[in-house]
């Protein structure tokens, strides 16, 4: 099951021409950060993200202790959106599962469904 729905990590040379070619693949809308300034992830970041997933940190039913209300500002602490700030769109009073946050990127506010385990309230 995907950790962050609608996003795929790709290992490749980050040349604008190659990144632009990704948009020719069915259902690909954009490259995170754009083709000229893509959002790179280091091997350490990818491994940390993968280790957390392998250890169940993002499992839907696993409590993580984060409770958010619509309108709360949060910091994303892992994955391709690491260090992005976001605004919570859907509340979650259960302390487990996912929420929808709005992230400012690609020239606007983009909704992202993300596990609570990746969020820290600001």
What pLDDT does 4 receive? 80
User: Which residue, 109, 54, 104, 110, is CA-closest to 84?
Assistant: 104
- For the stretch 81-100, pLDDT in tens is 889 999 999 988 888 889 99
The pLDDT-based confidence of 1 (bands split at 50, 70, 90) is low
pTM: 0.74
Cβ neighbourhood burial of 15 (10 Å; 0-12, 13-18, 19+): exposed
Sorted by where each begins, the domain ranges of the chain are 16-121
The conformation of residue 23, written as its DSSP 8-state character, comes to T
| CATH number of this structure's domain 16-121, picked from the four choices 1.10.167.10, 2.130.10.10, 2.30.30.30, 3.40.630.20 | 2.30.30.30
Q: What angle do CA 61, 63, 66 make, to 5 degrees?
A: 125
């Amino acid at each position: 099951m995907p950790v962050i729905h609608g996003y795929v990590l790709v290992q490749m040379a980050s040349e604008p021409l190659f990144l632009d070619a990704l948009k020719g693949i069915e259902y690909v809308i954009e490259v995170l950060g754009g083709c000229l300034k893509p959002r790179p992830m280091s091997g350490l970041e990818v491994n940390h993200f993968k280790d957390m997933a392998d250890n169940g940190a993002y499992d839907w039913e696993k409590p993580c202790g984060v409770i958010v209300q619509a309108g709360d500002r949060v910091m994303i602490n892992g994955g391709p959106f690491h260090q992005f700030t976001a605004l919570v769109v859907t509340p979650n009073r259960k302390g487990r599962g996912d929420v929808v946050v709005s992230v400012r990127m690609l020239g606007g506010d983009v909704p992202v469904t993300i596990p609570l385990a990746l969020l820290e309230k600001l």
